[in-house]
Structure 1
Amino acid sequence: MLATIQKQQNNYVVKFNRPLSHSVDAVWAVLTENEKLQKWMNNLEIMDLRKNGIIHFNMNDGTNAYKEIAITDYAEKEVLEFDWGKDKVRFELTPTSSGSILVLLESIGELTDHTPKDLAGWHVCLGLLSDLLNETIHEEFPIEEWQKWFAEYKQLVDDAGKI
C-alpha cells in the first residue's frame, strides 16, 4: 500500500498506514527493542527510550560511526517520534479488534531528489517489520523490491511537488 503525501502550510506530510494482525505489545517490541528493531531497520539502535532520549543511526560501515538522533515525542506503546535529518519521523500505534494499526508519518520540509529514495526505504522497511512479526527474517535488504518502490515514490513525489 503506497503512502500518501499531503502538502501542509510549511511542509509535506507522508503517511504510511499499516493494519497489522498483531497486538500493540508485539508491534511496540519490534519498534523499540534493539534485538528486534535491527532485524528490520539495522541502522537504528535505541540508546535511551524516552522523550528527549537518543537513538543512534549507525553507519554500518565498519567504523562504528553513528549519528545521534533525538527522540522528540514518546508515549509508551503509542508514539515514537524522532528527528530524521531536518525532518521528523513519527510512529503511532493504535489497538484494533483484530490487532493494531501502525501509522508512520514523515514530516518533510522540502521535497528533494532524495525524498523518493527515503520513502521507498521506509516502504520496504515496513514490509520487513511486518514479515518479522510473521516470523520471517530477511538476511539482506531486498534491493530489487526497493527499486520497484522507488519508481512508484518518484512519481508520487513528482506529483506532490506540482501541488
Structure 2
Amino acid sequence: MLATIQKQENSFIVKFDRPLSHSVDAVWAVLTENGKLQKWMNNLEIIDLRKNGKIHFNMNDGTDAYMEITITDYVEKEVLEFEWGKDTVRFELSPTNSGSILVLLEPIGELTEHTPKDLAGWHICLDLLSDLLNGTVHEKFPKEEWQKWFAEYKQLVDDVEKI
C-alpha cells in the first residue's frame, strides 16, 4: 500500500497506514525490542526507550560508527517518535477488531531527490516488519523490490511537487 503525501503550509506530511493482524503487544515488540527491531531495520538500536531517550543509527560499515538519535515522543505501546535527519519519524499504534494498525508519519520540510529513496526504504522496512510478524525473516534487504517502490515514490513525489 503506497504512502500518501499531503502538502502542508510550508512542509509535507507522509503517512503510511499498515493494518496488521497482530496485537498491539506483538507489534510494539518488533518496534522496540532490539532483537526483533534489527530484523526489519538493522541500522536501529534502542539504547534508552523513553521520551528524550536515545537510539543509535548504526552505520553497519564494519566500524562501530553510529549517529545518536533522540526519541522525541514516547507513549508505551502507542507512540514512538524519533529524529530522522532534519525531520522526525513517528510510529502510532492502536488496536483494531482484527489486530492493530500501525501508522508511520514523516513530516518533511523539503522534498529533495533523496525523498523517494527514503520513502521506498520505509515502505520496504514496513513490509519486512509485517513479514517478521508473520514468521518470515529476510536475510538481505530486497533491493529489487526497493527499486520497484522507488519508481512509484518518485512518481508520487513528482506529482505532489506539481501541486
**TM-score, normalized by length of structure 2?**
0.99
Distance in 2, Cα, partners of 1:8 & 1:58:
32
Aligned to 2:26: 26
Unpaired stretches in structure 1, ≥5 consecutive residues: none
Q: Output one character per residue of 1:42-69: Cα deviation in whole Å (capped at 9) or x when no partner.
A: 0000000000000000000011100000
Distance in 2, Cα, partners of 1:160 & 1:52:
33
Q: Secondary structure at the match of 1:42?
A: coil
Give percent identity, aligned residues only: 84
Q: Output one character per residue of 1:85-142: Cα deviation in whole Å (capped at 9) or x when no partner.
A: 0011000000011100000000100000000000000000000000000010000000
Distance in 2, Cα, partners of 1:10 & 1:68:
27
Q: Secondary structure at the match of 2:103?
A: strand
Distance in 1, Cα, partners of 2:24 & 2:157:
31
Once the two structures are TM-superposed, the CA of residue 10 in structure 1 deviates from its matched residue by 2.1
Q: RMSD across aligned C-alpha pairs, in angstroms?
A: 0.4
Distance in 1, Cα, partners of 2:107 & 2:26:
26
Distance in 1, Cα, partners of 2:83 & 2:8:
18
Q: Which amino acid aligns with 1:72?
A: T
Q: Output one character per residue of 1:12-47: Cα deviation in whole Å (capped at 9) or x when no partner.
A: 000000000000000000000000000000000000
Distance in 2, Cα, partners of 1:81 & 1:10:
21
Aligned to 1:157: 157
May I ask how many residue pairs the two structures share in their alignment? 163
Unpaired stretches in structure 2, ≥5 consecutive residues: none
Aligned to 2:92: 92
Once the two structures are TM-superposed, the CA of residue 9 in structure 1 deviates from its matched residue by 1.4
List, as ranges, runs of 4+ consecutive aligned residues in structure 1 with deviation greater than 6 Å: none
Q: Does residue 116 of structure 2 align to residue 116 of structure 1?
A: yes
Aligned to 1:127: 127
Q: Secondary structure at the match of 2:47?
A: strand
Q: Secondary structure at the match of 1:48?
A: coil
Aligned to 1:10: 10
